[in-house]
């Protein structure tokens, strides 16, 4: 039997449910009204219009209508202007495309040369970094060499300091000790006393500016700025402003140093805004960036100094850009672990004893839950995390200051005196003392002792080898082809003549090769080559398959 047709469910709602929904809606609107009162927002009142009892009502209404008409006319005029501008832009783009097509075609050698030049600029990032750093040195009056307070000597580059002193123009160098909150106060006092003998130093703790994305439940992403207190910023600005007054001019201050030292964060803390990109990754700054801090002071952000491969393993592990790759990370981590005290590392990371760096990384991976399926530890991820801590602003370690610091080879007493002229050093010492007292530094027991690597050598543009593009066989004769600039400047007729001469020369060479390969036509009666190139060039260029193709 057929089943009877089932009735559809009724859409009627019970009174209890309907009244409950209405109550919830009323409560919701009541909450919104309360929040609006707290914020001080009021309802928008409707325009009551002109009352009938007001005098000159008709005149006022006419004026209002005229204003509306004028506004509509202005909108129409703006639309017409936009249409005209868009049409002009289209015509301009079409003309550019037509002119590019009508340009003279470049020879194969010129195209290959252009491709090679583009490849060398992209690949050779070291050369571009050195050029940008050289531009900063030439353009600035004062140079701030930023040092990591955990290893100040390891962050100094004698080659760059020597270039600044030889550049002329009475340029001054200031040493800025950054990340001072990660070093014990006793060690910081010793380093400031040692470095002041060579160059004027400023104690600094940069404020952390960064944009973070926070997702609230049921809402869009919110961009919040993370801000911290800055120490030593006022003393540095007063020192620079006093120098401006003595010189009676606006100055440019270049910020230089090795990567992940805190160059961009110092500029952000002086500007009190997120002006430069910062982060734990190395080599974020690649080009010069001008930032106006005051009417008289402009800061120049520069890319990091590139460490030369002749340095020690520990210096390359902390300062080199090549260690960001997976192959170099494990080597750098092994060198860092070897130069640290074993017991201090065990207490710091709360792990058991280990035999080598591989076992150390496995213990860290197990401690932090970096595990794969089957209980295998993620050693590479643990190495990245450990290396980012040591290069970033988290790990507290320190190097012992030397008891008697002698002047380096590129510095003399006369140079030190010239660097200290025009600077209020007494006020700088007072500001440094107050900054050291205000810093919340870790204790000696909680921080790790680290072996100092000494001065790290940097690479300049002169040290880099000159890489020339490989030339082809046809390029040996200088008359056959021209450079890119010469081809672009020449007219259409000159380019046609150059290409025609090149083809004739190539055909003559092909005929010579055929003469040498054939046994009967190799030499003439007198034992010499019986071939005249001028006659071959004057002959017709037609190709006969019956005679020539063998």
- The mean per-residue pLDDT over the stretch 519-528 comes to 42
Q: Is the pLDDT of residue 484 over 60?
A: no
pLDDT score at 76: 92
469 domain-assigned = no
14 domain-assigned = no
pLDDT score at 503: 53
pLDDT confidence tier of residue 225, bands split at 50, 70 and 90: very low
pLDDT score at 38: 84
Give the residue, 500 or 26, on which the prediction is more confident: 26
pLDDT score at 30: 95
433 domain-assigned = yes
- The mean per-residue pLDDT over the stretch 228-242 comes to 84
158 domain-assigned = yes
Q: Is the pLDDT of residue 135 over 80?
A: yes
287 domain-assigned = yes
Do 297 and 277 lie in one domain? The reply is yes
Asked if 112 and 143 count as a contact pair (C-beta separation under 8 A), the reply is no
Q: Report the interhelical angle of 357-368 vs 379-391 (nearest 10°).
A: 90
Do 145 and 250 lie in one domain? The reply is yes
Do 370 and 406 lie in one domain? The reply is no
Q: What is the CA radius of gyration of the chain?
A: 38
Do 280 and 237 lie in one domain? The reply is yes
The last residue of one of the domains, among 390, 410, 438, is 390
Do 276 and 339 lie in one domain? The reply is no
The last residue of one of the domains, among 367, 390, 413, is 390
- State the residue range of the domain holding 527: 477-538
Q: Could you give the CA distance from residue 154 to residue 133 in angstroms, rounded to a whole number?
A: 19
459 domain-assigned = no
Do 383 and 423 lie in one domain? The reply is no
67 domain-assigned = no
Do 134 and 251 lie in one domain? The reply is yes
Give the residue, 321 or 419, on which the prediction is more confident: 419
- The mean per-residue pLDDT over the stretch 456-470 comes to 66
The last residue of one of the domains, among 390, 415, 431, is 390
Give the residue, 457 or 482, on which the prediction is more confident: 457
Q: Could you give the CA distance from residue 320 to residue 371 in angstroms, rounded to a whole number?
A: 29
389-415 pLDDT, tens digit per residue, is 888 777 888 888 887 767 777 777 788
Do 333 and 203 lie in one domain? The reply is no
Q: Which two tokens stand for residue 546?
A: 């019956």
Do 206 and 355 lie in one domain? The reply is no
Q: What is the mean pLDDT of the chain?
A: 75
- The mean per-residue pLDDT over the stretch 45-66 comes to 84
Residue 426: give its domain's CATH number: 3.40.50.300
Q: Could you give the CA distance from residue 404 to residue 449 in angstroms, rounded to a whole number?
A: 20
pLDDT score at 494: 47
pLDDT confidence tier of residue 327, bands split at 50, 70 and 90: low
Residue 357: give its domain's CATH number: 1.10.1580
Long-range contacts of 435-439 (CB under 8 A, 24+ apart): 435/180, 435/203, 435/204, 435/205, 435/231, 435/232, 435/235, 436/180, 436/185, 436/188, 436/189, 436/192, 436/203, 438/231, 439/180, 439/181, 439/185, 439/188, 439/203, 439/205, 439/231
Question: Whole-prediction pTM value?
Answer: 0.59
Do 414 and 443 lie in one domain? The reply is yes
Do 150 and 194 lie in one domain? The reply is yes
Q: Is the pLDDT of residue 26 over 90?
A: yes
Do 296 and 184 lie in one domain? The reply is yes
410 domain-assigned = yes
Number of domains in the chain: 3
């Amino acid at each position: 039997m057929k089943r009877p047709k089932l009735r559809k469910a009724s859409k009627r709602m019970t009174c209890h449910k309907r009244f409950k929904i209405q109550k919830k809606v009323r409560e919701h609107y009541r909450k919104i009204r309360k929040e609006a009162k707290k914020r001080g927002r009021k309802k928008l009142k409707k325009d009551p219009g002109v009352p009938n009892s007001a005098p000159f009502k008709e005149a006022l209404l006419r004026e209002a209508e005229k204003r509306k008409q004028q506004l509509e006319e202005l909108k129409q005029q703006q639309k017409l202007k936009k249409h005209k501008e868009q049409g002009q832009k289209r015509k301009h783009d079409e003309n550019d495309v037509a002119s590019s097509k009508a340009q003279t075609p470049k020879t194969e050698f010129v195209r290959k040369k252009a491709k090679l030049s583009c490849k060398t600029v992209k690949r050779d990032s070291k050369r571009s970094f050195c050029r940008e750093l050289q531009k900063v040195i030439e353009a600035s009056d004062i140079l701030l060499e930023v040092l990591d307070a955990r290893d100040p000597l390891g962050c100094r580059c004698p080659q760059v300091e020597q270039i600044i002193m030889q550049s002329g123009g009475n340029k001054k160098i200031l040493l800025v000790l950054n990340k001072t909150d990660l070093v014990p106060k006793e060690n910081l006092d010793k380093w400031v006393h040692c470095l002041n003998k060579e160059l004027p130093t400023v104690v600094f703790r940069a404020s952390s500016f960064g944009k973070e994305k926070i997702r609230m439940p049921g809402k869009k992403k919110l961009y919040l700025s993370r801000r911290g207190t800055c120490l030593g910023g006022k003393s540095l600005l007063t020192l620079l402003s006093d120098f401006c007054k003595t010189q009676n001019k606006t100055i440019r201050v270049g910020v230089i140093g090795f990567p992940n030292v805190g160059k961009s964060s110092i500029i952000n803390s002086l500007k009190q805004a997120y002006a430069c990109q910062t982060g734990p990754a190395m080599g974020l700054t690649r080009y010069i960036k001008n930032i106006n801090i005051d009417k008289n002071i402009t800061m120049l952000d520069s890319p990091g100094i590139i460490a030369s491969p002749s340095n020690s393993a520990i210096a390359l592990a902390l300062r080199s850009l090549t260690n960001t790759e997976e192959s170099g990370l494990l080597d750098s981590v092994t060198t860092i672990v070897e130069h640290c005290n074993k017991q201090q590392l065990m207490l710091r990371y709360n792990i058991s004893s280990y035999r080598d760096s591989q076992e150390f990384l496995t213990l860290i991976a197990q401690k932090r839950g970096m595990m794969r399926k089957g209980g295998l530890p993620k050693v590479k991820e643990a190495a990245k995390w450990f290396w980012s801590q040591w290069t970033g602003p988290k790990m507290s370690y320190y190097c012992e200051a030397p008891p008697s610091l002698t002047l380096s080879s590129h510095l003399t007493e006369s140079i030190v005196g010239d660097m200290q002229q025009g600077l209020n050093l007494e006020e700088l010492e007072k500001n440094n003392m107050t900054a050291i007292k205000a810093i919340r530094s870790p204790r000696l027991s909680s921080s790790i002792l680290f072996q100092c690597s000494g001065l790290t050598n940097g690479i300049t543009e002169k040290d880099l080898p000159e890489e020339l593009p490989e030339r082809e066989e046809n390029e040996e004769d200088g008359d056959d082809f021209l450079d890119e600039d010469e081809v672009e400047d020449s007219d259409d007729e000159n380019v046609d003549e150059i290409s025609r001469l090149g083809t004739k020369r190539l055909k003559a060479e092909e005929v010579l090769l055929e003469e040498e390969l054939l046994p009967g036509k190799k030499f003439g009666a007198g034992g010499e080559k019986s071939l005249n190139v001028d006659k071959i060039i004057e002959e017709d260029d037609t190709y006969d398959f019956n005679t020539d193709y063998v």
